[in-house]
Chains A and B, each alone.
Chain A
Amino acid sequence: MVGNNQGIVILNLERLAIVIALFFMIPFIYLGSSVFFPFNENWNHIIDNVLLDYFINSLSLAIGVGFFSFVLGTVTAWFTSVYDFPFRKIISWLLLMPLAMPAYIIAITYVGIIDTYNFLPDIRNLFGGMVMISLVVYPYVYILARGAFLEQSKELYENAQILGSSQLSIFLKISIPMARPAIILGVTLAAMEALADFGTVTFLGIPTFTTGIFRTWFGMNDTITATQMATLFLSIVFIFVFLEQNSRKKIRYSENIKTQSIFNYKKTSKKNGFIIILICTLPLLFGFLIPFTQLAYWSIFISNEIIDESFFKIVRSTLFLAFISAVIISLISILVTYVKRLKPKSITNKFMQIITLGYAIPGPVIAIAVMIPLSSFDNYINQLLIEKFNISTGLFLSGTLFILVFAYCIRFLTVSSRTIKAGLDSVSITTDEAAKSLGANNITMFFKIHFHMLKTPLLVSFLVVFIDIMKELPLTAILRPFNFNTLSIKAFELASDERIADASSSAIMIVIAGIIPVILITKNILGKRNKV
């Protein structure tokens, strides 16, 4: 048989993907196997004293954040997609800005504000946590609901109007039910952020599962119980994952049957326009403008933090870490999504289905799931080499940046591979077949065709992951090598020492960096629709 290189090329790419995927399976296998570990006496203490609290707090936080995000997100989405009012375009764009603000930073800022002005209510409680997180995650609901509203056909509204429905009843009886899959997806994403949150709840002193796992691990020094708690917690998280993936399927279904619609914005009177502007700017004001201005003010006028060589060192290591990780994550994403395209039945895809659940897994859970297996492996190798050759390797995986990048991969591979998959999907499968029938192999096909179509998605995925890593707190805090600092850790440590104003220089840099992907998202998602 002539020219069988094509088969060999697939095989090698696939083998590489399998090796990588198997490696990423380690933490999942470790978590899964923890149910077989014997339960120790710490469990009694946890069940008797704290478990119910953790459970109630985590769940109330998720439900509360889901509810507030639903209200803020759908109301603003409805106004900006149905009515025409002054500054509509800029407001509908600015409503996404809170996404740039990590929840722990907004919490730090408001605690600082409250400490300054004593008449304000305290937010160091469960309700405060709900509000803080909601203020920065409602844009998930907003983006998705707005997209769904804009896709609803104009005829439907007109029909309802002819049949005598008021604007409010159209909103409640037609628009919301029709946009339900999108709204549920947004609300679930918001709730998952709340479940996974570590920084905000730690700072505000709310005992939840994530802080509980951390405390059991480091406070009680009991990794086994911490792992078992993590696994228990994951079963709750996966209920939300199920909800999310289910609503994604439904959205895909409803998109298939959508009709083309040309949407006319409804004119508003001056008074109504003013009310709408007021309502729409509220989340923007509290979710972005006030905290951003306050941070800027502190960092410029109040902060004692000196911008010197040691600060630049932190900036450099933050950028370095984010850059390296984003490159590695993007490369792995390309590999696994391309293998999936070439070999839809490959075993890699099964592994990836599990590994890409990582985006939903809270930081401390991922941290424990990578730390224990890797450090045992390190210790084993170290011991072996000392016995045989009297060489000590130290903790060459778990004590270096390796483990941190590994954990980031698990957390952010989904974000990246989803974007890249969407890019690859824009090239039809028959295009690959056409290239093959004209004599191309998989590698030349990738570089001649797919790579060109992937440039933008690749850039988007790289930047989004880059910034997400800059903002990331729990994984970085737990897994970083000794003496390695990033902006997020610096901000959080200073704030925890009640030096909130001093934390502002690091915090505002993270927020400014966070604005970049928001602009990208706006261009990618809203840009197309705004033209309508």
Chain B
Amino acid sequence: MDTKLIISNLSLAFEEKENVLTNIDLEIHDSEIVCLLGPSGCGKTTLLRAIAGFETINSGSIIKDGVCVSNHLENTPVASRNMGMVFQDYALFPNMDVKANISFGLKDLSKKEKSDRVDYLLDLVDLQNHKKKYPYELSGGEQQRVALARALAPSPDILLMDEPFSNIDEEIKEDLVSDIRVLLKQLKITSIIVTHDQYEAFNLADKVAIINDGKIQQVGNSYDIYHKPKNKFVADFIGLGVFMPVKKTNNNDFEIPIGILDYTKIKDDLLKYKNPEMLIRPDDIIHNDASDLKAVVLEKQFRGAEFLYRLLYNEKYPLLCYAPSHHNHEIGESIGIELDMEHYVIFEK
């Protein structure tokens, strides 16, 4: 796979203040879909805007197709970067109809070619019947698709999307997210998408970059991000989980309060930390009425097909556990659990 975009050692600050982004390194391959995921205010949108050319960077560089587009001295103008952008509020031109919006960025084409291109894009986003409508006549989802078509119209090298699903109703969001992924893959376009929603990122991305406090915390595929978080922030931010203290036993094993585990798998980790703690995800705990290991139900959340139980083990250790929803236990009841760990994730307390 060819490399499309290389961001190296990028730092950015607004007006002599503290860095908004610090030492960002990120490599994006051709046709790859990358999500920048992080809590609000982490700098993910600023990074996207720096890639687009709306923000100038203080140090480092952004190299697109082997050509530097941003460093501390130069900033290729937005218009010359050949990147398409979909904004959070879509930013459709209110005085133009759908057709005029989509053809806004088309230059050096005959009228016929323009109109063909617009028709092709309208087909792609399934809006053939809305050509003459104005933005205010469209629903949120339709506006978003017009914004996407408009950004794709000049055949950009890279598509940038800033929180594209934040204004979309929950019910249709899931379908829309997978539709967009299929579309982007079909067009083989390199895409960078900013989101704060991890499930959106998991569904969309080939690669997720977790950002916090202006720094990249981890880059990887969704599975690795969830199961092999590199630091405590990622472990906390992604998915649910609790931490339990880890102790070494005499016969070369180690134990957490609810069980004994294989020492060899994490020997190196244990040597590194003084007070090691292990991440326990709800899927590491299996509910089994027959088990001798018991924990008390503190809280339960009904989620349709399953319950999420918040448990307390041995009056000290909180735990989370999913159980099929016909296992309806009362608060205060002691229920049987089993440990089923695949990935050992250990951090310093």
Q: Which of A65-73, A332-340, A429-437, A506-514 is the contact stretch?
A: A429-437
User: Is B104 a contact of A440 with CB atoms below 8 Å?
Assistant: yes
User: Is A437 a contact of B74 with CB atoms below 8 Å?
Assistant: no
State how many angstroms separate the Cβ of B185 from the closest Cβ of chain A.
23
Q: Which of A432-461 contact B (CB under 8 A)?
A: 433-441, 448-449, 452-453
Q: Which of B86-94, B187-195, B282-290, B337-345 is the contact stretch?
A: B86-94
- Which chain A residue has the least Cβ–Cβ distance from B160? A437
Interface string of B75-96 (1 = CB under 8 A from A): 0111110011101110111111
Q: Which of A1-49 contact B (CB under 8 A)?
A: 1-4, 6-7
Does chain A have a CB within 8 A of B244?
Answer: no
Most chain B CB within a 10 A radius of its CB, from A3, A430, A438, A440: A438
Most chain A CB within a 10 A radius of its CB, from B74, B84, B93: B93
Q: Which of B85-111 contact A (CB under 8 A)?
A: 85, 87-89, 91-96, 104-105, 107
With beta carbons under 8 angstroms apart, the residue of B52, B95, B154 that contacts A439 is: B154
Q: Which residues from A are CB-within-8-Å of B92?
A: 431, 434
Does chain A have a CB within 8 A of B150?
Answer: yes
Does chain A have a CB within 8 A of B54?
Answer: yes
User: Is B79 a contact of A453 with CB atoms below 8 Å?
Assistant: no
State how many angstroms separate the Cβ of B145 from the closest Cβ of chain A.
15
State how many angstroms separate the Cβ of B17 from the closest Cβ of chain A.
14
Q: Given contacts A434-B85, A439-B79, A439-B154, is CB(A428)–CB(B91) below 8 Å?
A: yes
User: Is B79 a contact of A3 with CB atoms below 8 Å?
Assistant: yes
With beta carbons under 8 angstroms apart, the residue of B84, B93, B95 that contacts A437 is: B84
Q: Which residues from B are CB-within-8-Å of A300?
A: none
User: Is A433 a contact of B104 with CB atoms below 8 Å?
Assistant: no
User: Is B87 a contact of A433 with CB atoms below 8 Å?
Assistant: yes
User: Is A6 a contact of B89 with CB atoms below 8 Å?
Assistant: no
User: Is B89 a contact of A4 with CB atoms below 8 Å?
Assistant: no
Interface string of A404-436 (1 = CB under 8 A from B): 000000000000000000000011101101111
Q: Which residues from B are CB-within-8-Å of A435?
A: 93, 104
Q: Which residues from A are CB-within-8-Å of B83?
A: 437
With beta carbons under 8 angstroms apart, the residue of A3, A426, A427 that contacts B77 is: A3
User: Is B77 a contact of A433 with CB atoms below 8 Å?
Assistant: no
User: Is B95 a contact of A434 with CB atoms below 8 Å?
Assistant: no
User: Is A453 a contact of B77 with CB atoms below 8 Å?
Assistant: no
State how many angstroms separate the Cβ of B86 from the closest Cβ of chain A.
9
Interface string of B319-349 (1 = CB under 8 A from A): 0000000000000000000000000000000
Q: Which residues from A are CB-within-8-Å of B94?
A: 426-427, 431, 453
Interface size on B, residues (CB 8 A): 28
User: Is B154 a contact of A438 with CB atoms below 8 Å?
Assistant: yes
Q: Which residues from B are CB-within-8-Å of A4?
A: 77
- Which chain A residue has the least Cβ–Cβ distance from B84? A437
State how many angstroms separate the Cβ of B349 from the closest Cβ of chain A.
42
User: Is A441 a contact of B79 with CB atoms below 8 Å?
Assistant: yes
- Which chain B residue has the least Cβ–Cβ distance from A452? B95
Q: Given contacts A3-B79, A452-B95, is CB(A439)–CB(B107) below 8 Å?
A: yes
Bound CA span A269–B88, Å: 52
User: Is B104 a contact of A438 with CB atoms below 8 Å?
Assistant: yes
Q: Which of B44-72 contact A (CB under 8 A)?
A: 52, 54
Bound CA span A434–B101, Å: 10
Bound CA span A432–B233, Å: 36
Most chain A CB within a 10 A radius of its CB, from B85, B96, B107, B150: B85
Most chain A CB within a 10 A radius of its CB, from B83, B87, B151: B87
Q: Which of B127-169 contact A (CB under 8 A)?
A: 147, 150-151, 153-154
User: Is B80 a contact of A3 with CB atoms below 8 Å?
Assistant: yes
With beta carbons under 8 angstroms apart, the residue of A428, A437, A448 that contacts B79 is: A437
- Which chain B residue has the least Cβ–Cβ distance from A7? B77
Q: Given contacts A6-B77, A7-B77, A439-B79, is CB(A431)–CB(B91) below 8 Å?
A: yes
User: Is B93 a contact of A449 with CB atoms below 8 Å?
Assistant: yes
- Which chain B residue has the least Cβ–Cβ distance from A345? B15
Q: Which residues from A are CB-within-8-Å of B153?
A: 438
User: Is B91 a contact of A453 with CB atoms below 8 Å?
Assistant: no
Q: Which residues from A are CB-within-8-Å of B54?
A: 433
Q: Given contacts A1-B74, A4-B77, A436-B79, is CB(A430)–CB(B105) below 8 Å?
A: no
Q: Which of B160-219 contact A (CB under 8 A)?
A: none
Bound CA span A2–B64, Å: 14
User: Is A434 a contact of B91 with CB atoms below 8 Å?
Assistant: yes
Bound CA span A210–B84, Å: 59
State how many angstroms separate the Cβ of A1 from the closest Cβ of chain B.
6
With beta carbons under 8 angstroms apart, the residue of B89, B105, B151 that contacts A428 is: B89
User: Is B76 a contact of A2 with CB atoms below 8 Å?
Assistant: yes
Q: Which residues from A are CB-within-8-Å of B150?
A: 434, 438
State how many angstroms separate the Cβ of A336 from the closest Cβ of chain B.
23
User: Is A434 a contact of B87 with CB atoms below 8 Å?
Assistant: yes
Bound CA span A452–B153, Å: 23
User: Is A440 a contact of B79 with CB atoms below 8 Å?
Assistant: yes
Bound CA span A436–B75, Å: 14
Q: Which residues from A are CB-within-8-Å of B84?
A: 437-438
Bound CA span A452–B96, Å: 9
Q: Given contacts A1-B76, A434-B85, is CB(A453)–CB(B154) below 8 Å?
A: no
State how many angstroms separate the Cβ of A431 from the closest Cβ of chain B.
4
User: Is B78 a contact of A437 with CB atoms below 8 Å?
Assistant: yes
Q: Which residues from B are CB-within-8-Å of A452?
A: 95
Q: Which residues from B are CB-within-8-Å of A1?
A: 74, 76-77, 80
User: Is B91 a contact of A2 with CB atoms below 8 Å?
Assistant: no
Bound CA span A427–B76, Å: 25
User: Is A6 a contact of B79 with CB atoms below 8 Å?
Assistant: yes
Q: Which residues from B are CB-within-8-Å of A440?
A: 79, 104
Bound CA span A440–B91, Å: 14
State how many angstroms separate the Cβ of B343 from the closest Cβ of chain A.
41
State how many angstroms separate the Cβ of B144 from the closest Cβ of chain A.
13
With beta carbons under 8 angstroms apart, the residue of A3, A427, A430 that contacts B88 is: A430
State how many angstroms separate the Cβ of A4 from the closest Cβ of chain B.
6
- Which chain B residue has the least Cβ–Cβ distance from A436? B78
Most chain B CB within a 10 A radius of its CB, from A435, A437, A448: A437
Q: Which residues from B are CB-within-8-Å of A6?
A: 77-79
State how many angstroms separate the Cβ of A448 from the closest Cβ of chain B.
8
Q: Which residues from B are CB-within-8-Å of A449?
A: 93, 95-96
Q: Which residues from A are CB-within-8-Å of B78?
A: 6, 433, 436-437
Bound CA span A441–B84, Å: 16
Bound CA span A380–B74, Å: 47
Q: Which residues from B are CB-within-8-Å of A436?
A: 77-79
User: Is B93 a contact of A430 with CB atoms below 8 Å?
Assistant: no
User: Is A433 a contact of B85 with CB atoms below 8 Å?
Assistant: yes
State how many angstroms separate the Cβ of A519 from the closest Cβ of chain B.
25
Most chain B CB within a 10 A radius of its CB, from A431, A439, A440, A452: A439
Q: Which residues from A are CB-within-8-Å of B91?
A: 428, 430-431, 433-434
Bound CA span A449–B154, Å: 19
Bound CA span A3–B147, Å: 25
User: Is B52 a contact of A437 with CB atoms below 8 Å?
Assistant: yes
Bound CA span A215–B85, Å: 63
Question: Could you pull out 15 A-B pairs where Cβ atoms are within 8 angstroms?
Answer: A1-B76, A2-B80, A3-B77, A3-B80, A6-B78, A426-B94, A431-B91, A433-B85, A437-B84, A438-B151, A439-B105, A439-B107, A440-B79, A440-B104, A448-B93
Given contacts A1-B77, A441-B79, 7 further A-B contacts (CB under 8 A): A427-B94, A431-B92, A431-B94, A435-B104, A439-B107, A452-B95, A453-B94
Pairs of residues from A and B, 9 with the lowest C-beta to C-beta distance, nearest first: A438-B105, A452-B95, A430-B91, A434-B91, A430-B87, A431-B91, A439-B79, A3-B80, A437-B85
